[in-house]
Chains A and B, each alone.
Chain A
Amino acid sequence: MLIDRLFNQDSSPALEQLLRFTETRQRVLANDVANVDTPNFIQKDLSQADFQAQLQQRVDQAAQSSPGSVNFNDISMDVQDTGGLMFHDGNNRSMEQLMTEQAKNALLHNVAVELLRQQFMKLNAALKEQPE
Chain B
Amino acid sequence: MFDILDMSASALSAQRTRMDTIAGNIANIDTTHDASGKVDPYRRRFVVFAPGQAGDAAAPGVHVASIQQDESPFIRKYDPGNPDADKSGYVSYPNIDLSIEFVNALEASRAYEANVTMMENAKAMINSSLRLLA
Residues of A whose CB lies within 8 Å of any CB of B are 19, 22-23, 26-27, 29-31, 33-39, 41, 95, 98-99, 102-103, 106, 109-110, 113-114, 116-117, 120
Residues of B whose CB lies within 8 Å of any CB of A are 1, 3-4, 7-8, 10-11, 14-15, 18, 48-51, 60-62, 107-108, 110-111, 114-115, 117-118, 121-122, 124-125, 128-129, 131-132
* Cβ distance B61 to chain A, nearest Cβ, rounded Å: 6
Most buried by A among B15, B118, B128: B118
The answer for the CA separation of A39 and B117 in the assembled complex, in Å, is 22
The answer for the CA separation of A41 and B61 in the assembled complex, in Å, is 11
Please list 6 pairs of residues, one from A and one from B, whose beta carbons are closer than 8 Å in the complex, sorted by A's number: A34-B8, A34-B11, A34-B14, A38-B51, A102-B118, A106-B124
8 Å CB contact of B115 from A19, A33, A38, A117: A33
The answer for the CA separation of A39 and B50 in the assembled complex, in Å, is 7
Main secondary structure of the interface of B (DSSP, over half): helix
* Cβ distance A80 to chain B, nearest Cβ, rounded Å: 15
How many A-B contacts if CB must be within 8 Å? 87
8 Å CB contact of A33 from B3, B11, B129: B11
The answer for the CA separation of A22 and B131 in the assembled complex, in Å, is 16
8 Å CB contact of A37 from B107, B124, B125: B107
Question: A120: nearest residue on chain B (CB-CB)?
Answer: B132
* Cβ distance A81 to chain B, nearest Cβ, rounded Å: 13
Contact between chains at A23 and B132 (CB < 8 Å):
no
Contact between chains at A109 and B111 (CB < 8 Å):
no
Contact between chains at B132 and A102 (CB < 8 Å):
no
Write out the residue numbers on chain A whose beta carbons fall within 8 Å of the beta carbon of B62: 34-35, 37-38
The answer for the CA separation of A120 and B132 in the assembled complex, in Å, is 8
Contact between chains at A31 and B111 (CB < 8 Å):
no
Write out the residue numbers on chain B whose beta carbons fall within 8 Å of the beta carbon of A35: 11, 49, 51, 62
Question: B47: nearest residue on chain A (CB-CB)?
Answer: A37
Additional A-B contact list (9), CB under 8 Å, known A26-B125, A98-B114, A106-B121: A27-B3, A34-B62, A34-B118, A37-B15, A37-B18, A38-B51, A39-B49, A102-B121, A109-B129
Contact between chains at B7 and A109 (CB < 8 Å):
no
> Given A23-B125, A102-B121, A113-B131, are A30 and B114 also a contact pair (CB < 8 Å)?
no
The answer for the CA separation of A103 and B18 in the assembled complex, in Å, is 27
Write out the residue numbers on chain A whose beta carbons fall within 8 Å of the beta carbon of B129: 19, 23, 109, 113
Write out the residue numbers on chain B whose beta carbons fall within 8 Å of the beta carbon of A33: 8, 11, 111, 114-115, 118
* Cβ distance B5 to chain A, nearest Cβ, rounded Å: 9
